[in-house]
Chains A and B, each alone.
Chain A
Amino acid sequence: MRVVIAGGGNVGTFIAEDLAKAGHDVVIVEVDADRVAQALAQGEPAGVEWIAADGCEVSEFARAGVDKADVVAAVTGDDEDNLVISLLAKQEFAVPRVVARVNNPKNEWMFNEMWGVDVSVSTPHLLTALVEEAVSVGSLVRLLSFEGGRARLSEATLAPDSPANGKDLAELGMPRDSTVVAIIREDHVIVPRGDTVLRGGDEVLVLTTPDAEDDVITTLLG
């Protein structure tokens, strides 16, 4: 696949290296000519093409061969730039898949189809989810969003007094539009079945739509 990465900072360089190793055709577009010269002099990362151009400018961005790209990743440290790059990639070059990095979580609401973004990745949100997941018992923690937020993978650690304790899944009756995908109990992954009985301390992984989330909380956590 041909991948164009906008932004040659730490994130961009790292992704480029990974993708080039996986055998993809990778181009980095970086606005800072000194950074490009430095990267070329060091020859790093191997097998990656660098282009000194401003991704926010259509004519310059075109020099990276965006019209042939399968994926564009906008991963600069600036949310405004990432949005402009995403919109240009979608509107001017009809790129099939546009991935954008969210730097400030306050801006995440804008990273959607309106701005040409197919997938947004927010590092701070991912980190808070992971930290929450590590410390919280008795609440539902969102781990991942799919399909532009239409489905979520969430995790709940059952407290000792949870209403779900001692019930099997069939008896529990998970709400419509939600399903238990796995139960983690004492380092073991249990594949859920109708007769699987829940216990306090279980980590329950649930796939749910945003609308069904409240019902899931009531069912599992009370």
Chain B
Amino acid sequence: MGVVLKNLRKKLSQSIDDIEGERLTGRLADLGVQPIAEAPTRTPILLAGEVQGLQVVPRAGSPSLEVTISDGSGRAVAVFTGRKRLGGVDCGRRIVVDGVARTERGRMVVLNPAYTIVE
């Protein structure tokens, strides 16, 4: 009974961000990929996350698709130049991207990574 009450109290008092973070961490744990917040830049890496936003942004006069992924520890943006959509990459999907990250205006950006749709 004590444990149940403790969990209930935790659920009620926790911030929405924390709950969301825990949900994402749990959802991505089985992939065994390092957290986005700890991922190094400028070296080939794997990042896993839930797709939380899709945006078509003009870059140098051509469209590029920016896919924001989050794993609870942080966010990263995968930029696909010359694309307006990618089949199967929609909000809520889990994907793994494979590329080299850099920091651009405070965001972690991976340019044209290879990607795998997990579910």
Residue numbers of A with Cβ under 8 A of B are 67-68, 90-94, 96, 112-114, 116, 148
Which A residues are CB-close (under 8 A) to B100?
91-94
Contact (Cβ within 8 A) A94 B101: yes
A91 touches B112 (CB 8 A): yes
Contact in complex: B111, A112 (CB < 8 Å): no
Nearest CB on B from A148, distance (A):
7
Specify which chain A residues have a CB less than 8 angstroms from the CB of B101 in the assembled complex.
94
Bound together, the chains give a CA A113 to CA B42 distance in angstroms of: 18
B41 touches A148 (CB 8 A): no
Q: How far is the CB of A200 from chain B (nearest CB, A)?
A: 39
Q: How far is the CA of A148 from the CA of B41 in the complex (A)?
A: 25
User: Apart from A93-B42, A94-B111, A96-B102, what 6 extra A-B contacts exist at CB < 8 Å?
Assistant: A67-B42, A67-B43, A94-B42, A113-B60, A114-B81, A116-B111
Q: Tell me if B9 counts as interface (CB < 8 A to partner A).
A: no
How many interface residues does chain B have, given as a range? Answer: 10 to 19
Residues from chain B with a CB closer than 8 A to the CB of A68 are 42
Evaluate contact between B111 and A114: CB separation under 8 angstroms.
Answer: no
CB of A94 within 8 A of CB of B59, answer: no
Interface residues of B in 89-113 (CB under 8 A from A): 99-102, 111-112
- Cβ-closest chain A residue relative to B64: A114
Q: With A67-B43, A91-B100, A94-B101 known to touch, is A114 a contact of B62 (CB < 8 Å)?
A: yes
Q: Is B74 an interface residue (CB 8 A)?
A: no
Tell me, in angstroms, the Cα distance from A113 to B61 when the chains sit together.
9
Q: List, in ascending order, chain A residues with CB within 8 A of B43's CB.
A: 67
Chain A min CB distance to B48 (Å): 19
Verify if B82 is at the interface (C-beta below 8 Å from A). yes
Give the nearest-CB partner of B81 in chain A.
A114
Q: Contact check, B59 vs A113: say whether CB atoms are below 8 A apart.
A: yes
Contact assessment for A114 and B60 in the assembled complex, using a CB-CB cutoff below 8 Å: yes
| Best-surrounded residue of A68, A90, A91, A116 (most CB of chain B within 10 A) | A91
Can you list 6 A-B pairs with a CB-CB distance of less than 8 A? A68-B42, A90-B111, A94-B100, A94-B102, A112-B60, A114-B82
On chain B, the residues within 8 Å of A94 by CB distance are 41-42, 100-102, 111
